[in-house]
Structure 1
Amino acid sequence: MSEPATVIHMDDGKAPAAASSSYATAPASTGDATTAAGSKAAGGGRGLPLLLRSGAGGFRRCLAVIDFLLRVAAFGPTLAAAISTGTADERLSVFTQFFQFHARFDDFPAFTFFVVGNAIAAGYLVLSLPFSAVGIVHPGATGVRLFLLLCDVVVMCLLTAAGAAAAAIVYVAHWGSRRANWVPICMQFHGFCQRTSGAVVATFLAVLVLAVLILMAACAIRRRR
């Protein structure tokens, strides 16, 4: 059998050089694209806050920081509402000093419930701060967030009930009731009505903050990646 013939191409060597140069530039261009993509990603990451650069963990840590600050902010209105209503006491002298009308918070069971509810909420917000701090240190602590979520729901319901009961008394004190022949007393007891009305507004502000805390905790628990 005859061996296959060997064909030798006679050229000036420019074509192989061009081919080799194209192969040489291909990896370089690929590397440049990878480097450019990496620099673009790094540049995009630099524009994000530090807490959000690490994905879901950073997102949960950011929510934990906001959660801690909101709890501190909600503590003020609840404590102020409890103190303001608990110290609401006004006397109105009519004709002589021996004939007086007296307005005090414990004269109304709704206001007593209101003071107790705000005091419980204020104490809970202080006790919940260490648990909220755990969420900052350990963003993946789902059990702590779930515990705070359940407690926040209970306290928000308590504050809502107390605020609604006190708001009904404040409304009657301001406007009275024609059908029941109840006259408004705020025309005489100005200080008492101002203190209780401001306390009701502060309580509903705390309820709004607790609602935000509940939504944030639900988002942090739901987002796992």
Structure 2
Amino acid sequence: MRRLRKSLGAAFAVFMGVSGGGLPGLLSAKAEANVANITFEYTGPRPGYRPDEFVNTTPPAEFCSGLVHCTRYNEHKYTFNFPASYNKTTFQQDPDLRNRYFFKLPDVTTLHLVNEHGDSFRAQFKPTHVGLRIRSTRNLEVDYPNNGGCRGVASRNPASLNTEYLGAIIDPSLGCWIGERHHSPGARGEHWTHVMGISFDLQLPSATSLKNGVYRAQLPWRVAFPGGGSLTPVTVPTR
């Protein structure tokens, strides 16, 4: 089987390997700057898996190390690290939510995966949770349960200027926001954010229904923070 080449540029990439034996090169795919790689493989039946089930070989998201417990049996079965950082200026209780600590994620995306022989299939990708590490000049209410289109499910150091947040994405169309604690309306805050990872659902076909090969998909995908601030770029046109 042809060796898998690295992804270059700033993009979201997915790799699926199907083979009756080993998959040389599949696990050597490295996430480079602003590239998020997701990898699955199928090399035949494995104990504890359905006979036709892909095995997730993606390194777990940062938030799996203490913020929540990630296993293949819970809602964080599939996670990945998303290499993005962000500086955000906010204004307390601003009527325009985009001027608060506001962020928005894409909804369901259809992936078109193609192998080296031209065989292809489609899969539905849907983000379900997002993890953020935030350093702020003003405390954020990361332990508040309802934040627009997100529901806070876990936090660390909620009363600190250095905190972590994990939100379940309930309605991507609404966007999500986090309020500030005990400050006057209009008070300005600065927030430096590192995305700790994404949980997702991926609807895959039976691995045994696919022909052998390494299936690849790459698409532009971003976590958007409208309003003031700057986002490290994480997308390029699909190649």
Query: Given the two structures, how large is their TM-score scaled by the length of structure 2?
Result: 0.22
Where is the helix percentage greater, Structure 1 or Structure 2?
Answer: 1
Where is the strand percentage greater, Structure 1 or Structure 2?
Answer: 2
Please tell me whether Structure 1 or Structure 2 has the larger radius of gyration of its CA atoms.
1
Query: Given the two structures, how large is their TM-score scaled by the length of structure 1?
Result: 0.23
